[in-house]
Amino acid sequence: METLIGSRLFWLALLACVLPLLGALGSRWQLWPYSLGLLLLLAGLLLALPVLGLALWQRQWFALLLACLPLLVLLPPLIQGLRLPVINDISTDLVSPPVLNAAARLRGPRHHAPNYPGPATAEKQRAGWPTLGPLTLPLSPREVKPLVLDLVRERGWQRVDDQGADNMQIEAVVSSRWFGFEDDVAIRLTAQDGGTRVDMRSASRVGKSDFGANAGRVQDFLADLDHKFKE
């Protein structure tokens, strides 16, 4: 009897691990809508909780370990994301955000409009990330542009802007690692007081909340750009 229970717990724990992975990769490969992928991820988490308790009660240590994996990997970012404002569009300039020119032709009817959502989103961003703002470098826009392009290439982002020499706004499409969510990024270089003001906007094509992904992307990129300048 104990062997039968242990075997069932093992397979249930394995299923709890497989469901989130299946949901993410199936969405990335466009086998089903991302909403179904998220449901599979949630199903894996909900399954892992009772399996964890039963495995602990039955002292089925391998099943216990398997049930812990999705909880340890997925719960921390999920909890952190739920604490953040429910927005999907981040900009360092909340008065005149960079325009997503390329996104206007790349986004489809199932995507959000490329227009900036408006004051309500700006207020939520100020509340969630009060220190997020532009970066100013003591170089001309033409000198800053190669540094920006280097970082875009290093990150593997797909550049989609007009690649003319005079264009001082770089735009790219970024795909998330697991689900393959596509976000649109615009980096605007503006001459200002003998230097360059670097503004950046990162916006998701789908979903109401990005769980902090866009803000983290903007913060990391500008920090790396400042570090590259100081090298």
The CATH number covering residue 110 comes to 3.30.310.80
* Same domain for 126 and 43: no
> For position 22, what pLDDT does the model report?
96
Burial degree of 31 (CB within 10 A; 0-12, 13-18, 19+): exposed
Three-state secondary structure of 139-176 = CCHHHHHHHHHHHHHHHCCEECCCCCCCCCEEEEEEEC
pLDDT in tens, 36-75: 999 999 999 999 999 999 999 988 989 999 999 999 999 9
**How far from the centroid of its chain's Cα atoms is residue 36's Cα?**
18
The pLDDT confidence band at residue 82, using thresholds 50, 70 and 90, is: confident
The pLDDT confidence band at residue 1, using thresholds 50, 70 and 90, is: very low
* Same domain for 107 and 72: no
pTM score, whole prediction: 0.89
Last residue of a domain, one of 30, 61, 82: 82
* Same domain for 218 and 119: yes
Residue 177 sits at the vertex; the CA angle it makes with 91 and 72, to the nearest 5 degrees, is 100
Measure Cα distances from 154 to 42, 111, 148, 226 in Å.
33, 27, 10, 15
3-state SS, residue 124: helix
Last residue of a domain, one of 82, 100, 117: 82
Q: Which residue matches tokens 């007009």? A: 162
Last residue of a domain, one of 49, 82, 115: 82
Q: Which of 111, 121, 104, 91 is nearest to 202 (CA)?
A: 91
Do the Cβ atoms of 86 and 34 come closer than 8 Å?
Answer: no
The number of folded domains in the chain is: 2
Q: Which of 14, 44, 12 is nearest to 26 (CA)?
A: 44
pLDDT in tens, 158-204: 999 988 888 999 999 999 988 999 999 999 999 998 899 999 999 99
* Same domain for 73 and 180: no
* Same domain for 206 and 99: yes
> For position 85, what pLDDT does the model report?
95
Range of the domain at 168: 89-230
Do the Cβ atoms of 13 and 51 come closer than 8 Å?
Answer: yes
Q: What is the greatest pairwise CA distance in the chain?
A: 78
* Same domain for 109 and 67: no
